[in-house]
Amino acid sequence: MKRPWKPHYPKHTGPLPERAVLERGVARELLTTWEITKDKALVDRHLAAVDKVYGQGAEQRIRQHMREVARDERCG
């Protein structure tokens, strides 16, 4: 019996390219939240939860993205 056709997708073994895009989006969202509410505890709670979603070290990477967004993309 012939086996059913199954498409072959090469396994991606490198870093996920969309992770940086998603983390930068979270950074923009949290930076906007902080600019509006000035509630550091709220932003810290959200950052504490991102390690579960984006992997180990995500909090530091997102904080760096927040700095870059504030410096390069925001006026002031």
How high is the pLDDT of residue 47?
Answer: 94
pLDDT in tens, 32-55: 999 999 999 999 999 999 988 888
Number of domains the chain contains: 1
CA distance 11 to 55: 19
* Confidence band for 74, pLDDT divided at 50, 70 and 90: confident
Q: Is 71:31 a contact under the CB 8 Å cutoff?
A: no
**Is-above-0.85 flag for pTM?**
no
- DSSP 3-state of 68: helix
39 domain residue, yes or no: yes
| Average pLDDT rounded to a whole number, residues 52-74 | 92
Question: Could you tell me the residue range of the domain that residue 29 belongs to?
Answer: 17-72
5 domain residue, yes or no: no
35 domain residue, yes or no: yes
Name 57's Cβ contacts closer than 8 Å, sequence gap at least 6. 51
For 30, how many CA atoms within 13 A lie in the half-sphere containing its CB?
Answer: 26
Closest CA to 70 of 17, 11, 28: 28
| Average pLDDT rounded to a whole number, residues 48-76 | 91
How high is the pLDDT of residue 17?
Answer: 73
